[in-house]
A and B are shown apart, each in its own frame.
Chain A
C-alpha cells in the first residue's frame, strides 16, 4: 500500500492531467456533428500515435550491444510513425473533400 501512496504523491500532477483530459475529451466529442465522426475518429487515431515518443525514447536508450532491444525498438519506431503519418494524411484526405465544396 505504501508504494501505491508514494507513487500517487510522486505522480500527483500526472493524475490531475488524466482527470482533466478525460473531461476535455468528453467535452470535445459531445458537440461534434455526426458528419465529422469518421474524420474525427481518424484524427484521434493519429493523435494517439504520440506513442511514437515512447518508441523513440526506448530506441535511443537501447544498448547498442543488445540486438533484440535494437530490433524491437526499431520496429516500434516504424509502427508508431506509420500510425502518426498515415493517420494524419488519411484524415487530411477525408477533410480535403469537405473543403472543396465551398
Chain B
C-alpha cells in the first residue's frame, strides 16, 4: 500500500465522520446549519481526494480528468443555480428532483460496470465451471451491480413522478389490479436477476436491459397512484432507496465513504418513512405495493354534504382581537399563497393586543414533514410559538378561536370517526374542541387527498373564503381599525 492509497483511506475516514456528525448536528435546531456545512465539506474533500489519489487494483491513476472536471462544473453550476432560485413552496419538488438525480447516477454506474464485466469476462480462467458468473467471485459483485441498477432506477423514475405530481404537472392515476401488476413487475425483475447470475454472461445482456426497463416502469407505477398526504412518505422512502443504491457502489469499489454515507441515509430514511407511516396508520408493506391511492378514490364518493356558514372579515377581526387564546393552523394553502409573512404580522398584532397566539403544526401538514416549520421560520416566527400536535391537542379546549389557514386533511374529523375514510386512523389536530373554528380556504373544494371535510359543516365552524394572503391582509387592516 503506497502513500497515496493510505492518504485516500484517511480522507474517506474523515468524510465518513463528517457525514455522521453532519446528520447528528442536523437533528438539532441550533447546530443544524453547521452540520450541513460540515457534511458538505467532507463531501468536497472526498471528491477531491478521489480525483487526486484514487488508484485501481493495478495501481493505475484515474484518467479523463477533463471529463470529470467538466461534469463537476456543469452539475455544480446547474445545481447551485436551481437550488438558489427555487421558491420556498417548491422545496419538496426540488428535493425529490435531486434525489432522482442520485438514483439515476447509481443506475448509470451499474450499467457501465456491467458492460465492463461482460467485456472482461474470461471463461478460460474459470475452467471446470459452467462459465457463468456464479462460478466466479464476480457472482456477488454482479448481484450488487443488479441491486444498484434496480434500486437506482426505481428511485429515479419514482422521484421524477413525485416531482411532476408535486409540481402539478401530473394527476393521480390508478387502474384496477395495479398492485398485482406491480408485484408481477417485481417478480419478473427478480427472476431476470437470477437468470443473469446463473447464465453465461454473453447471453444475458438483453435480460440486463429488460431488468433496467422493468424497474424504471415499476418506479413510475409505484408512485403514480399515490396522492395527497402520502407524498411525504414516498419522498422519504425514495430518499432511503437512493441511499441503498449508493451503498451498493460502496461494495463494488470497496469504498468506505460511499458505504457509510449510503447506509446511513438508507437506515435513517427508512426509519423516518416508518415513523411517517405509523403516524398515518398505514403499514410500510402497503406503501411498497403501492395500493393506497386506490382506496383513496373509493372514499371520494361518500362525500359529506350540508350547509356551511360564512363569516365576514370584520366579525373575524372582532372575534380574534377579544379572544385570550388563538391558535393558527397552517396548511398548504398558506404555502401556495406565500402568506407566511402576513401571517406572522397578524400574530404580532394580536400579541400586542394581549392575545396569546400559537401555531399548531401537524407533522404532515403541507407537502413534506416539517414543511410548515420551514415556511414559518422563513417569516421569522419564533421557534417557541410552534406547538407540535400532541402538545397542542390537550390545549384546544381552552382555546377561544382557531384559525385554519389552507389546511384540510390534517383537521378532518373523519380520520377519527369514519372507518371507511382513506385517512381513517391518521392523528389529527382536534380543532373542534376549541370554542370557535374559522376556516380559510379558496373554495369548498376537497383537500389534496380528495375527501370531503365534515368539519366545515359543523355548527362551531365558520368559513372565510379567499386567498390566504389577501384574507390575512384584510384581517390585519380590520383589526388595526378596531
Are the C-beta atoms of B374 and A90 separated by less than 8 Å?
no
Residue ID in chain B nearest A11 by CB atoms:
B251
Residues of B within 8 A of A82 (CB): 75, 78-79, 98, 101
Stretch from B109-117, B345-353, B424-432 contacting the other chain: B109-117
Are the C-beta atoms of A75 and B108 separated by less than 8 Å?
yes
Residue ID in chain B nearest A81 by CB atoms:
B75
Count of chain A residues with a beta carbon within 8 Å of a chain B beta carbon:
84
Residues of A within 8 A of B394 (CB): none
Residues of A within 8 A of B361 (CB): 34-35
Are the C-beta atoms of A37 and B370 separated by less than 8 Å?
yes
Count of chain B residues with a beta carbon within 8 Å of a chain A beta carbon:
117
Are the C-beta atoms of B105 and A42 separated by less than 8 Å?
no
State which residues 36-87 of B face A: CB under 8 Å. 36-37, 39-40, 43, 46-47, 50-51, 54, 56, 60-65, 67-68, 70-72, 74-76, 78-80, 82-84, 86
Stretch from B136-144, B284-292, B324-332, B410-418 contacting the other chain: B136-144
A90 to B33 alpha-carbon distance, docked (Å): 11
Contact with A along B19-37 (1 / 0, CB 8 A): 1101110111100110111
Q: Is B227 an interface residue (CB 8 A)?
A: no
In the complex, the number of residue pairs spanning A and B with C-beta atoms less than 8 Å apart equals 384
Q: Is B382 an interface residue (CB 8 A)?
A: yes
A70-B368 contact, Cβ under 8 Å, with A6-B137, A92-B33? no
B455 CB to nearest chain A CB (Å): 23
A26 to B462 alpha-carbon distance, docked (Å): 43
A93 to B84 alpha-carbon distance, docked (Å): 8
A60 to B136 alpha-carbon distance, docked (Å): 26
Q: B26's contact among A21, A36, A84, by CB below 8 Å, is which?
A: A36
B387 CB to nearest chain A CB (Å): 11
Stretch from B208-216, B261-269, B441-449, B465-473 contacting the other chain: B261-269
Are the C-beta atoms of A60 and B71 separated by less than 8 Å?
no
A4 CB to nearest chain B CB (Å): 6
Q: A52's contact among B26, B86, B105, B371, by CB below 8 Å, is which?
A: B105
Q: Which 5 A-B pairs have the closest CB atoms?
A: A81-B75, A60-B62, A77-B71, A25-B267, A85-B79
Given contacts A41-B239, A54-B253, 16 further A-B contacts (CB under 8 A): A18-B263, A29-B272, A36-B32, A40-B32, A43-B22, A46-B39, A51-B262, A58-B109, A59-B68, A61-B63, A74-B71, A76-B104, A85-B79, A88-B39, A98-B383, A101-B380
Q: Which residues of A are in contact with B by a Cβ distance under 8 Å?
A: 3-4, 6-7, 10-11, 14, 17-18, 21-26, 28-62, 64, 68-70, 72-101
